Amino acid sequence: MSATLDHLFDQNVAWASQKTREDPQYFRRMAEQQAPRYLWIGCSDSRVTANDVLGLDPGEIFVHRNIANVVHTSDMNILSVLEFAVDQLKIEHVIVCGHYGCSGVNRAIAGEHSAMLDNWLLPVSMFYRKHRATFDAITDDVERVNRICEINVEMQVRRLAATPIVENAWLRGQTLHVHGWIYAIHDGLLRDLGPHVSSIGERDRLPSIDQMVLQPTEAESAMRRQAIAAFGAIDVTDPRLHACCPSGRIHNS
């Protein structure tokens, strides 16, 4: 007798009933339109779901996911999603989002070989081999994989920005921004890696991905940005901050 997964159908009924109780018009709105402003290109990892991570309802973000969030410029799946999002939905932001501890990246640097998976991961594994001495100088295994996860995001942003789909959108004056983010499963926070690209000129001025191996970008969470902004708003010349110090001077101890 085949398994029918009735428990998942039961959970679906409970979920739909709860959504209707909370918002009687919820499914009516979902059925009437799809007008997302964002395209998320992320990893297939079951712990990293775009709507949950961003706190968005269905219909607010268009999603494509694959192993290790790789942008293959010959893959009909990702290109079809990208073309539909840009040309039909007129999305304004494409987010390439990786995550720390990515199993796909781990696999790419492990040197294993299979017909499908390792062919898919080839851009990552080839880049690792090219810069192996630099990456292997990171002695901590977790830090090494996480660094490659960051570089992988930056590499895929560049590959995405070079597609004719994105380039044509910019040529016709369409508003389109490409972003590179990374997600930390251990704390649930997104971090901004960059680059942020909004035109052909900005894309062409980007440092090469080979340069970025030697010039790492600090990944910033929103909490860190807010702290920096708050500190930057403080007027350090305000004498009230130095009331304990004669003449408003700060003395280093």
H/E segment holding residue 35? none
| Catalytic residue ranges | 43, 45, 47, 99, 102
Contacts of residue 188, defined as CB under 8 A and 6 or more positions apart, other chains included, come to 53
* Cα separation, 39 vs 181, whole angstroms: 13
Evaluate whether 131 touches 154 at the Cβ level (below 8 Å): no
CA distance 144 to 233: 36
Among left, alpha and beta (phi > 0; psi -120 to 50; other), residue 111 is: left
Q: Which residues contact 25 (CB under 8 A, 6 or more apart)?
A: none
Whole-number Å distance between alpha carbons of 80 and 185: 29
Tell me the residue length of the chain.
253
Report CA dihedral (165, 169, 171, 175) to the nearest 10 degrees: -150
CA distances from 37 to 73, 202, 227 (A): 23, 21, 28
